[in-house]
Every structure is written in structure tokens, then in C-alpha cells.
């Protein structure tokens, strides 16, 4: 998966198409992720010690990673993610960085 936690992504297909949000959690085994404010589902809960009121709770449900694209930090548009090797000036070692395919911006 080329998406990481705390990346800003935009949904490109499905009911939440066009919405943007931050990645909250990844499920690499299932190729799914949870995006903040996207794919909201309602769950009816019984009153409990943790939630004494009970009622209807809204929370984000996982969506497939193929339905999102990373937002380019420079242009703000959706972009594919590539990789590049850069020499770290402090240590002199090669370092792998992620690169936006449209602008070439590292992030």
C-alpha cells in the first residue's frame, strides 16, 4: 500500500466521492483504510457503562485503498505515488522517499 497514516487523501469512487480527509487507520491485510469524515455509518448501541445514554453512534467505516488517491502537497490535486532514492546530507546514506508523480514533490 502506498498510502500511510496521516496522509491526506481524496475519495475517487463510491458514495463519498470527492471528499477529502486524513487517513486514521490502515488495514494492510484487507487493503482497506479509515478516512476521517468519509464513509460514515450509523450503529445502534445499547446503554452501557462506557456509554450510559446509548442511542445511535456515527463512525467511519473502512473503504478499499483503490478508491482513494493521495493529495499532492504542492498542487492539492490527487496524484499517484512513486519512490526515489535520495542521499541524506547528514549521514551520507541513501534514503527512500515517496514522490508525487505529477509535480515530483517529496513527502
**CATH code assigned at 66:** 2.30.30.30
Q: What are phi and psi of 67, to 5 degrees?
A: -90, 5
Is 65 strand, coil or helix? helix
Could you list the residue range(s) of the whole structural domain that residue 31 is in? Answer: 1-71
Give 1's contacts (C-beta < 8 A, 6+ positions apart): 26, 28, 31, 33, 65
Q: Do 50 and 85 belong together in one domain? A: no
Q: Do 21 and 57 belong together in one domain? A: yes
Q: Tell me how many degrees the CA angle 68-98-64 measures, rounded to the nearest 5.
A: 20
Tens digits of residue pLDDT in 28-83 = 999 999 999 999 999 999 999 998 999 999 999 999 999 999 999 899 999 999 99
Q: Do 61 and 42 belong together in one domain? A: yes
This prediction has a pTM of: 0.84
Amino acid at each position: 500500500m502506498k498510502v500511510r497514516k496521516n496522509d491526506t487523501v481524496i475519495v475517487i469512487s463510491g458514495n463519498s466521492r470527492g471528499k477529502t480527509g486524513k487517513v486514521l487507520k490502515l488495514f494492510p491485510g484487507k487493503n482497506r483504510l479509515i478516512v476521517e469524515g468519509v464513509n460514515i455509518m450509523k450503529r445502534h448501541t445499547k446503554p452501557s457503562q462506557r456509554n450510559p445514554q446509548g442511542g445511535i453512534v456515527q463512525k467511519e467505516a473502512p473503504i478499499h485503498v483503490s478508491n482513494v488517491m493521495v493529495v499532492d502537497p504542492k498542487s492539492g490535486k490527487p496524484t499517484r505515488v512513486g519512490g526515489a532514492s535520495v542521499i541524506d546530507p547528514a549521514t551520507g546514506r541513501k534514503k527512500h522517499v515517496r514522490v508525487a508523480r505529477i509535480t515530483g514533490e517529496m513527502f
